[in-house]
Amino acid sequence: MSRSISYVTGSQLLTLKRRPNIAIIDVRDDERSYDGHIAGSLHYASDTFADRISQLVQQVKGKDTLVFHCALSQVRGPTCARRFANYLEEMKEDTEIKNILVLERGFNGWEAAGKPVCHCTSTPCTAESAQ
Ligand SMILES: [Zn+2]
């Protein structure tokens, strides 16, 4: 059975983000370093995504919801989300992930809607744990 990937809006994500069992995966490439990012998001650039997918699976252990996004969430975001879902199926990974989501309109839409943007330069972003 193929996992379905659904979209969430920025406002829905703001609410979801309060739960500890969610991970936000930013698959933008270089833009992340100069445009800022969603606080607490993980960075898995789309150009190396396929190579790092098993690392991502390890990093999100215990999470049940993953939200992918790129700049607009039209190509890279949904492609990586689909690739991740396929990987879980092919590897028959023992995982707690129930929801694979894509942020509608991506980071640019998020920022344009006045949602909070983190400009820290740490990898990984530590904004969330600092609160
Ligand atoms: Zn940050």
Tell me if the pTM is above 0.95.
no
Who's near 98: CB < 8 A, 6+ residues apart?
Answer: 64, 65
CATH code for the domain in which residue 95 is found: 3.40.250.10
Average pLDDT for 99-127? 94
pLDDT higher for 21 or 130? 21
Does residue 124 sit within a domain? no
Q: How far is the CA of 72 from the centre of ligand 1 (A)?
A: 19
pLDDT of residue 1: 52
Does residue 75 sit within a domain? yes
Phi, psi of 51 (to 5 degrees): -75, -25
Does residue 18 sit within a domain? yes
Residue 70 known to be catalytic: yes
Does residue 130 sit within a domain? no
Question: Any idea which residue has 């790129």 for tokens?
Answer: 70
Nearest residue to 120 via CA among 9, 129, 23, 12: 129
Does residue 21 sit within a domain? yes
How much is the mean pLDDT over the chain?
92
pLDDT higher for 2 or 64? 64
Domain boundaries, position 78: 5-118
Report the alpha-carbon distance of residue 121 to residue 3 in Å, rounded: 34
> 107 pLDDT band (50/70/90 cuts)?
very high
Q: Per the structure, how many domains does the chain have? A: 1
Q: How far is the CA of 2 from the centre of ligand 1 (A)?
A: 33
Q: How far is the CA of 113 from the centre of ligand 1 (A)?
A: 18
CB count, 10 Å around CB of 114?
8
Q: How far is the CA of 8 from the centre of ligand 1 (A)?
A: 21
Strands 99-103 and 42-43, bridge-based pairing: unpaired
> 128 pLDDT band (50/70/90 cuts)?
low
Does residue 48 sit within a domain? yes
